[in-house]
Amino acid sequence: MSRQIYFVQSRADEVAVGHELAEGYDVLAVPTRWRGPEVRPQLPQELETRGLVLFPERHWEAVEANITAVTDGSGDHHVFPSAGWCIRWNRTKPAEGGVLRAGRCYLDDDEIPGAEAAIARSREVFAFIDTYIRWTYPGIRIADEASPTYIGPDLADRLARGRAVMNKADGTAYGVRPNPEFRGPG
């Protein structure tokens, strides 16, 4: 079974989530893909890549044991398999013309024999991320998507003040509606 949540957020919104994860859950991250076999886990907010693999610090050895070369001959490496004990975090991707491609947090939490404790901890971390976003992100982007796309508080403020735009690929603006689950700042 997999779980996911979509969002659009500013860098400030992203950093706020990263701090909460580091303080409450000892979460570290590595890029989804990197050059060469060596990688150093860091706090999520310290990495600049769009795709991240998040995991509780105490599971670094399991993550490190599953680093493999990507088979395309690029010399890149990634964590494989990551199902169950790693959470994929794809950041909001800005594009030309105010287009913000939604980010996504994803957990494939199928059972893996011998990894029950790690999977349980990843489920806890994902549940926190899901709740944090649903309760502290004030808006939802109006779109044709089946799943809601939550708008981070800093980005929502910047949109309201006219300091940011959130356009569709055709250049027209997305609408925003209040998030009915919003409970206020974290």
pLDDT at 1 over 90: no
120-172 confidence digits (pLDDT tens): 888 899 999 999 999 999 999 887 667 899 999 999 999 999 888 888 888 88
Name the CA radius of gyration of the chain, rounded.
Answer: 17
Taking the domains of the chain in order of start, what are their residue ranges?
2-136
Cis peptide before 81 (omega within 30 of 0): yes
54-107 confidence digits (pLDDT tens): 999 988 988 888 888 898 989 899 887 665 678 999 999 887 777 888 899 999
- pLDDT mean over 4-15: 93
pLDDT at 185 over 90: no
pLDDT at 21 over 80: yes
Candidates 109, 106, 66; CA nearest to 85 is 109
pLDDT of residue 38: 87
pLDDT of residue 44: 93
Going from the C-alpha of 7 to that of each of 37, 72, 104, 110, the distances in angstroms are 31, 30, 6, 23
Number of residues assigned to the chain: 186
pLDDT at 9 over 80: yes
